[in-house]
Amino acid sequence: MSTTGATADPLAVLGTLPGVAESVESVRKAVDRVYGHRIMRRRSNEITSEAALRASRGSAALSGADWALEEVRRRTDFSGDDEARAVGAALRLSAEAGQLLSIWRQSPLRVLARLHLVAAADSSPSVGRPRQEGEPVDEPLVELPLPNAADVSGRLEGLSQLIVAGGSAPALVTAAVVHGELLALRPFGSHNGLVARAAERIVLVASGLDPKAVCPAEVGHAELGRAAYLAALEGYVSGTPEGMAAWIAHCGKAVELGARESTAVCEALQRGAA
């Protein structure tokens, strides 16, 4: 995403693209339905915990570890194969994201570094910092052209400046751009998808759209499927108004599906079936 131009708030401009306002309004209604459920008044902590678990499962699925929810729930050892490590990383990120909300608006790059450290759980020198020229990237499910290290550094700094400056853009737009930019850049040597989806969640929560983290977009992204996810990402990377709007709409649909999932959890709790 280019952050240059005449406008001081390019994220707000994205909010004016055709169809984006409708996505923003649809997401707001879906979120309001969850927060208006009677169970949320008494058992919101349970809904938040369940949403975090389901978010982890969804994010891991998009990184190639498509486990059943009950398998994620019962497992305690995630040190086995690549799939187990991906699920473990997703669970750690869900737990960590809530601890970073107060830092996000002041130092988003610090938060991204922390997210990568948590996901990688590795002491290698490359962990927790943007990749340098010539360093490999292990992100096999995203096969788009890889920007060079200089572009990564410049675009991360531009993204950070936009977040710190704030603005009038809807939370959905900002979350979608953060998510899309991190996937496009793949700034770290590994776990970029997991980090990107965790950052999207942080934006949605920190913005106040979903303050209790009960509308897990990761669930929706997984439900929509990897093919649709990558096709929408290609639209973002194209930089065209149509492509950007399609990516934002895709992210909006994911949030709506996450909200629907938590509404179903509320209904189950109300029936005494969960």
| Exposure string over 175-213, b if 16+ CB within 10 A, otherwise e | bbbbbbbbbbbbbbbbbbbbbbbbbbbbbbbbbebbeeb
- pLDDT 10s digits, 33-79: 999 999 999 999 999 999 999 999 999 999 999 999 999 999 999 98
DSSP 51-63: HHHHHHHHHHHHT
φ, ψ of residue 190 to 5 degrees: the values are: -160, 170
pLDDT mean over 86-114: 96
Residue whose tokens read 């669970």: 91
- pLDDT 10s digits, 171-185: 999 999 999 999 999
pLDDT at 79: 87
**Residue type at position 8:** A
Q: Is residue 274 scored above 90 in pLDDT?
A: no
12-16, 212-216, 219-223: least confidently modelled range: 12-16
pLDDT at 272: 83
Beta strands in 5-66 (DSSP E): none
- The token pair at 197 is 């989806």
- Cα(110)–Cα(119) distance, rounded to whole angstroms? 14
Rounded to 5 degrees, what angle do the CA atoms 225, 227, 233 make?
Answer: 105
Coil vs helix vs strand at 122: coil
pLDDT mean over 21-35: 97
Q: Is residue 273 scored above 60 in pLDDT?
A: no
pLDDT at 10: 86
pLDDT at 217: 98
Entry pTM: 0.94
- pLDDT 10s digits, 130-161: 999 999 999 888 989 999 999 999 999 999 99
pLDDT at 164: 95
pLDDT at 8: 56
Sign, Cα dihedral of 179, 142, 140, 87: positive
CA atoms within 13 A of residue 72's CA, in its CB half-sphere: 26
**Residue type at position 137:** V
pLDDT at 157: 97
- Cα(224)–Cα(254) distance, rounded to whole angstroms? 7
pLDDT at 1: 61
Q: Is residue 7 scored above 60 in pLDDT?
A: no
| Exposure string over 234-243, b if 16+ CB within 10 A, otherwise e | ebbbeeeeeb
pLDDT mean over 210-239: 97
- 86: β partners: none
- The token pair at 53 is 């678990």
